[in-house]
Amino acid sequence: MIVDCAIYRHGHRTEGPEDLSDALAEARAAGGFVWIGLYEPSEREFELVTDEFGLHPLAVEDALKAHQRPKLEVYDDSLFMVIKPVVYEPDSDAVSTGEVMVFVGDCFVVTVRHGEGTPLAAVRRRLEEEPEMLDKGPTAVLYAIADATVDHYLEVATELQTDLDELEAEVFQPETGSSRNTASRIYTFKRQVLEFRRATGPLALPLGRLAGNGALGGTVPFVHDKARPFFRDVGDHLTRVNESVEALDRLVSDILSAHLAQMSVRQNDDMRKISAWAAMAAVPTMIAGIYGMNFDHMPELHWLWSYPAVIALMAVLEVLLYRLFKRRGWL
């Protein structure tokens, strides 16, 4: 459905007519642009927008189906960009992603939102409070969306770093480090980092093209040359985010390895203790087994002090073994 539709002239908002064709013609005549925001439109709802603005069918298909990687596509009459905002849910310590598709033309911007937590409403309010930036045209809208999304990436990376510090403290805490749920929590956290990485990593190439970096940077239409330094700044922020994500991924892998190593050490300690107690139990068992054999000619069987001597021998051997194992740290 259409969430918002407005015409912007010289950085100021005016409500557009209900007919999209009239809105586009009015924006062109006034030297402004029209910005239409949609939320999870159906194919029938999006068909009118497609016809009026001449959007490419492949981009329209991507916008309707969603589940796209961050990318930048250049068509004859428009620019199509996919951005994946990330939302951190503090109640469940989970990361979820949405999608924002942006169509940019000479005098129009069409934004399609999928999922919750996308920053479009806040971006529109911020731009309307800065007429000088909004006066730059559709490029300013694309920049503001990318900038708000990447800035929120930094906040999510900070929250994940805090969760990782807590998880690390739990792993190396003697009382809880061997908990059965620890490995599951580490694996779940790694999946959250992977989900975050899927949103941030592929976005570097589109921002590089918008900033004019690389061989394809100069071929991007509908992007004013003066806007490229701003996209370059967003790209720098995204580089920081990607570095943080890579560091989180490495650290969580190291923490998982440390946890498994701790579990292995604890199992070895347990096995040593079990082996020590088994060795101590084997001595009296061996002696009792020897004297339990039914032979007639065993000289010790007829001694008066045989039984106390054997019991004393067992006790002495048990004490010696206990002290030996204790000294070596096996008990």
Q: What is the pLDDT of residues 137-174, one digit of tens each?
A: 889 999 999 999 999 999 999 999 998 888 888 887 76
User: Within a 13 Å sphere around the CA of 45, how many CA atoms are in the beta-carbon half?
Assistant: 13
Q: What is the pLDDT of residues 316-331, one digit of tens each?
A: 888 887 888 777 777 6
Q: What's the confidence (pLDDT) of residue 174?
A: 64
Residue among 15, 57, 55 nearest 34 (CA): 15
- Neighbouring residues of 7: CB distance < 8 A, sequence distance ≥ 6: 13, 14, 15, 16, 23, 26, 27, 30, 32, 33, 34, 35
Mean pLDDT calculated for residue range 264-285: 77
Q: What's the confidence (pLDDT) of residue 16?
A: 66
Q: Percent of the chain having pLDDT more than 90?
A: 23
Is residue 51's pLDDT more than 60?
yes
Report the predicted TM-score, pTM, of the whole model to 2 decimal places: 0.77
Grade residue 177 by pLDDT with cuts at 50, 70 and 90.
very low
Handedness of CA 150, 154, 156, 160 (dihedral sign): positive
E runs forming strands in the chain? 2-9, 12-15, 33-39, 71-74, 79-83, 86-89, 94-97, 99-104, 108-114
Mean pLDDT calculated for residue range 57-67: 89
Q: What's the confidence (pLDDT) of residue 11?
A: 84
